[in-house]
Amino acid sequence: MTSNSERYKCPCGGTYEFDIKTQMLKCPFCDSVISQEEYDAMAAQKLAESNIDIKNGATRMDTDPETGEMIQEGQQETYVCNSCGGEITPALTSISEKCPFCDSPIVLSGKISDAQPDIIIPFKFDQKKVQEAYSKHIATKHFVPRSFNAEARKKEIQGIYVPFWLLSCKADGDVNLDCQKITRRRNGDQEITEHEHYDVYRKSHMEFNDLPADASKEMDDDLMDSIEPFNTKEALAFKTAYVSGFSATKYDVGVEESYPRFEKRMRETFVKTIIDKSVKGYDKVDVIDSHVDFSDRSIKYAMFPVWIIRNKWDGKDFIFAVNGQTGKLVGNLPTDWGRMFTSAGIWSVAASALCVPGAKFLMENSDWTSAGIIGFLVGLVLSFIVHFVMVSGNTSVADATEADGYLEQESFSNSVENDKYSRTERQVRTISTSAK
């Protein structure tokens, strides 16, 4: 038998868990609070005095309980909880969870040692605040099915430490742009538009710091992108105490697999930053081509706090995520399209009542029938546009395409700037007398 998991035992017999409010270890039975450093010192003293490891919370079984065969490294492992004796078979990627029999928090430290995170951001928002934010989120959205609202309380909320790769690097490259200065003037019954084209070239440098990519296959990438940003300036050196009482998984997506996601976001921001910061005085900017090289890459392995809310409705799973550091909540809600279209139709009548007189006023020579038709169509279109904007707020999950929040703004510089006049294009449009 080999012990490679931890249960932070309190002298009263309870088990310490990380407490979000105090940011320390707290026993739920006697309410005693202790820091990680104090606990480590107490555990070391106890071990020195009696050779008893008070962090031992579960023991890995060396043989399969059914077949009796030796368990090989990398196979699904079974543990025996030292509190209740129950057998636990955690997921291969799990490094922290609770015993399903006695609810004791167990940290599988043997798995952590295989891939020790560099930093961790502890939970700052507790489950009560997450519940309140979730209820408020649903209440403020439009045309969510009433049955979904009624069943919104029947959900599972779980605090999980999600593994992330953080990339810091330098970016050097260039971009070719077609930029235009557009002028319009009138000459009699003609409107003349001139497009002056310039070939614009920039060679630039910038740096990115702690750009994240979740390293768990279980977590939806778009969902994790949508709860950004995480403030890594508040990150702490990783210690197992922070994950006690929460679920935690180690990475199963390698850093090499994450590079395409990193580079996609940085390339987009590279070009956008050049345009925003150094291409001025033009009315239109089109990207012709660009090239970016990344160097001095450094990687951190991090654990970030995420609350996952799972809600099943109408046979479908609706999953929401809450940033455990900032409280940002994202997730896609269902829409009652019947109610939405009915409401849009009703409001189109009210909008038409305002649009018809306006159409009659603008169409001086028209009759009321023509003005009524035009006014009704305009009111209908406006009503539906407003309603579609309202339900667009029900969807808040999207993949991240930029890395603006991780760009070191002061690192930006241009080594070459070249703006060269190319050509002028002229467009002439005849203006009718009534439009003058």
Say if 55 falls within a structural domain. yes
Whether residues 138 and 228 share a domain: the answer is yes
Whether residues 327 and 251 share a domain: the answer is yes
Q: How many structural domains does the chain have? A: 3
Cis peptide before 28 (omega within 30 of 0): no
Whether residues 145 and 106 share a domain: the answer is no
Mean pLDDT of 360-389: 72
User: Residues 239, 35: contact at Cβ < 8 Å?
Assistant: no
Tokens in use for 316?
């479908």
| Helix residue spans in 76-145 (DSSP H) | 109-114, 127-139
Last residue of a domain, one of 315, 331, 347: 331
Q: What is the pLDDT of residues 116-131, one digit of tens each?
A: 899 999 999 888 899 8
Say if 404 falls within a structural domain. no
Q: What is the pLDDT of residue 436?
A: 42
Residue 87: phi and psi, rounded to 5, are: -90, 135
**CA 360 – CA 357 distance, rounded (Å):** 5
Whether residues 67 and 181 share a domain: the answer is no
Whether residues 187 and 305 share a domain: the answer is yes
Say if 89 falls within a structural domain. yes
Say if 430 falls within a structural domain. no
Whether residues 362 and 256 share a domain: the answer is no
Q: Could you tell me the residue range of the domain that residue 348 belongs to?
A: 337-392
Last residue of a domain, one of 113, 135, 167: 113
**CA 109 – CA 1 distance, rounded (Å):** 15
Say if 406 falls within a structural domain. no
Say if 5 falls within a structural domain. no
Share of the chain above pLDDT 70, in %: 73
Last residue of a domain, one of 47, 80, 113: 113
Q: What is the β-pairing status of strands 24-26 and 33-34?
A: antiparallel
Whether residues 205 and 327 share a domain: the answer is yes
Q: Which residues contact 230 (CB under 8 A, 6 or more apart)?
A: 121, 164, 212, 304, 323, 325, 326
Whether residues 262 and 347 share a domain: the answer is no
Whether residues 309 and 216 share a domain: the answer is yes
DSSP-assigned letter for residue 434: G
pLDDT at 70 over 50: no
User: Residues 245, 105: contact at Cβ < 8 Å?
Assistant: yes
Whether residues 37 and 152 share a domain: the answer is no
Among the ranges given (8-12, 269-273, 386-390), the one the predictor scored with the smallest mean pLDDT: 8-12
Q: Which of 301, 257, 296 is nearest to 408 (CA)?
A: 296
Mean pLDDT of 401-407: 92
User: Residues 144, 294: contact at Cβ < 8 Å?
Assistant: no
Whether residues 183 and 295 share a domain: the answer is yes
pLDDT at 179 over 60: yes
Q: Tokens 């305002």 correspond to what residue?
A: 354
Say if 428 falls within a structural domain. no
DSSP-assigned letter for residue 243: G
Whether residues 287 and 262 share a domain: the answer is yes
**CA 198 – CA 383 distance, rounded (Å):** 42
Residue 120: phi and psi, rounded to 5, are: -145, 145
Average pLDDT of the chain to the nearest whole number? 81
More confident residue, 332 or 92: 332
Tokens in use for 407?
């760009």
Say if 379 falls within a structural domain. yes
Q: What is the pLDDT of residues 90-100, one digit of tens each?
A: 666 776 666 66
